[in-house]
Amino acid sequence: MKTYIKKFDKKIEELIELNPNDDCLKAIVEFKNKKKYDSFYGALGDMGFGIGVEYRMEQLLNKNYNLIGYIPSIKYTNENPLKQEVGICSLIDKNSPFTSQLKAYEYLAKKYVYLLMRISNLRELVFTN
């Protein structure tokens, strides 16, 4: 498993440990187990696609195509449950990208879960689609 996926998963596991009774986190764990994913990274990628709220990691390149940094972002598709405009929303200022891929994925995991926690009917959405 790639290091950035391990970092993403570790952050999710920490959030679960800190919030063991949270309905959103319970739904995430149940989804991962029912779909037999070996990582939260994969499970949340599939879950997000299904509900129209997907996480993304954009690489910021300079004009010579050299990597400058990483921009965690969210892609909203039609009829997403948060009623956000369709498109990609950066979670940080594009002028201040993460230079560490691992820190970027850790941040993305935390912010993505907090975003999912705002969806009151998450369980219904993921288990009826």
40 bridge partner residues = none
Q: How many helices (H) and strands (E) does the chain have?
A: 5, 3
| Predicted confidence band of residue 77 (pLDDT cuts 50, 70, 90) | very high
Percent of the chain with pLDDT over 70: 99
- Every domain of the chain and the residues it spans: 3-123
Order across the sheet with 53-61: list the strands.
53-61, 67-76, 87-90
pLDDT, average across residues 23-44: 97
What integer pLDDT is reported at residue 15 of this predicted model?
97
Q: Which residues contact 2 (CB under 8 A, 6 or more apart)?
A: none
What integer pLDDT is reported at residue 7 of this predicted model?
97
- The whole model's pTM is what? 0.94
| Predicted confidence band of residue 101 (pLDDT cuts 50, 70, 90) | very high
